[in-house]
Amino acid sequence: MSAMASKGWVGLVALCLLAGCATANPGAGAAAGLSAGSHTAGNSSRTPAAQQTKGGTSSGSNKQVSSLTGVACPSVTGCSAAGWYSKGTAVTRTLVGAWNGHTWRAAPGPDVGHRSSFNAISCPSSGNCVAVGTLAATGSGTQWSPLPTPPAGMTAISCAAPGNCQAVGAVPGRHLVAARWQGRGWRRERVPLLRPRPQTATLSGVSCVSTTFCVAVGDGSSGAGALPSPKYRDRTLAEIWNGHRWRVSRTPNPRRRSALSAVSCVSRSDCMAVGSSDSGQLSLAEHWNGTAWAIVATPNVNHVGYTALAAVSCASVSVCVAVGTYNGGVRPIAEYWNGARWTLGRLALPQGVQVVQGLAVSCASSTFCMMVATADATPLSEVWNGVHWAVLPVR
């Protein structure tokens, strides 16, 4: 693993690529079209607007901001990542990259207009990936082609097979969205809501094990205004796809303000969803056994509080890795599932990094997981060998 890490991300976010693409011709871009695949969530902290604010870039700033928002690893020698980069707030471009077991290669992805970004990516096989966000594209490595534009609001995607993907998300303040890619176009699907009907709802993660079984998770909010209103309530949400329609699957809520951010399924009877409860102060995991959801105890970083899990990937029924943050959502953590219980771990952190957000993870085996995130407004990647995490240097 150390040898792998030492080779780094050759060119993934090389300044010549990012700065050049962002400044040399800010109006250029190919026609049309990263929550990561079936293993990661796509949430609002991964969007360009959110990260430019939390990462320290204000409106009108010329500071370079770049982010990897999703990763998918169909094998230990093949991972694809997707996201976006920008300089200031006027122009946003898509960013893609591929891991070959030794190094990362990068390329600008397809773009539409001045604000293009990927929120999630899924790869059902090596060389066959689909990324969604403000647009959609298919490919891998540095070769990507635009797809027809998906419905607005897509934050997560999972492909059960090449040419068969489910994307989910929400249009803020309006409704949940889901659409199926079948190789030629996007087919929009009706998504039912919780009862009683929430004022707002979102789907932030999805995982498909076949064309007839997918699970999507998120949350629904209701009550007067928002926090800190005592009437505000946030409820976990899960939806199950049977090949024909979505239906709400009842999930437990340990506290009044709970949300699920990601899900990973290894079979129809084994899914793990993660998120947070108590207004983001405590980590949360819920397990699906094919019949019902049950809360699984998770550890927390108690001395600083605000432990929340953002993404999860399960290599088997006894191996899951979840990543998230603590200390108000700025410091990264990892948690590990062995089939019986969750244990707490820490991700490695480059010296000097202050804020880490927008984490995504994908595991190809019990001894190989790839994590991507944004660290102080620049991409961060770490690789797991079953024992420890190693930072892959950004060059």
Domain ranges of the chain: 2-392
Per CATH, the number for 2-392 is: 2.120.10.70
Determine the Cα–Cα distance for residues 16 and 37; give it in Å rounded to an integer: 28
Q: What is the 3 state secondary structure string of 157-204?
A: EEEEECCEEEEEEEECCCEEEEEEECCCCEEEECCCCCCCCCCEEEEE
Which has the closest alpha carbon to 320: 293, 296, 350, 300? 296
Strand order in the sheet with 331-337: 308-316, 319-326, 331-337, 342-345
Q: Are 352 and 377 in contact (CB under 8 A)?
A: no
**Per-residue pLDDT tens digits of the chain, which is 395 residues long:** 333 333 333 333 333 333 333 322 222 222 222 233 333 333 444 555 445 444 443 334 567 788 899 999 999 999 999 999 887 667 889 999 888 888 877 778 888 877 899 999 999 998 899 999 999 999 987 789 999 999 999 999 999 999 999 999 999 767 899 999 999 899 999 999 888 788 788 999 999 999 999 999 999 887 655 555 566 678 999 999 999 999 999 999 987 789 999 999 999 999 999 999 987 789 999 999 999 999 999 999 976 678 999 999 999 999 999 999 998 778 899 999 999 999 999 898 888 888 898 999 999 999 999 999 998 888 889 999 999 999 986 55
Is the separation of the CB atoms in 326 and 301 below 8 Å? yes
**Interatomic CA distance for residues 91 and 21, integer angstroms:** 10
